[in-house]
Structure 1
Amino acid sequence: MAKANPLQFMQQVRSEVSKVAWPTRREVGLTTVMVFAMAALTAAFFSLTDILIRTGLTQVLNMFH
């Protein structure tokens, strides 16, 4: 593959970057909020699951103690 000179390379880069569909500020903000909300819901789910498993296991082990 032939190497392009730096000027051609920069022109090609500029051409490709212009084809990118950049998100709006509002889209970025909404996506960020959704990511944090889903992370919080996931953390709450796994915390609750951990508490339930730990409580059940503790009670089972206390029956044999």
Structure 2
Amino acid sequence: MANPLQFIQQVRSEVAKIVWPTRREVVLTTVMVFLMASLASVFFFLVDLIIRQGLNVVLGV
């Protein structure tokens, strides 16, 4: 088992390697996620609509 002091030093050295994203990067990726989620929801809505209409035609409802 490692020495607790050595463990803390290793944790500090690993934390120092972390590169946090800039505010601009966070905003940009957040906007991209919302945009892609919106596009996916519209796509699946249209696919569902087409499948529903096709089934209505096939089943003669």
Q: TM-score range by the shorter chain?
A: 0.7 to 0.9
1:32 maps onto 2:47 in alignment: no
Residue in structure 2 matched with residue 20 of structure 1 by the alignment: 18
Percent sequence identity over matched residues?
67
1:4 maps onto 2:7 in alignment: no
Tell me the number of residue pairs that the alignment of Structure 1 and Structure 2 aligns: 61
Letter in 1 for 2:34: F
Structure 1 runs not aligned, ≥5 long: none
**Larger-Rg structure:** 1
- 1:5 Cα offset (Å): 2.0
1:57 maps onto 2:58 in alignment: no
- TM-score scaled by length of structure 1: 0.82
- TM-score scaled by length of structure 2: 0.86
RMSD: 1.3
Structure 2 runs not aligned, ≥5 long: none
The 1-side partners of 2:24 and 2:5 are apart by 35
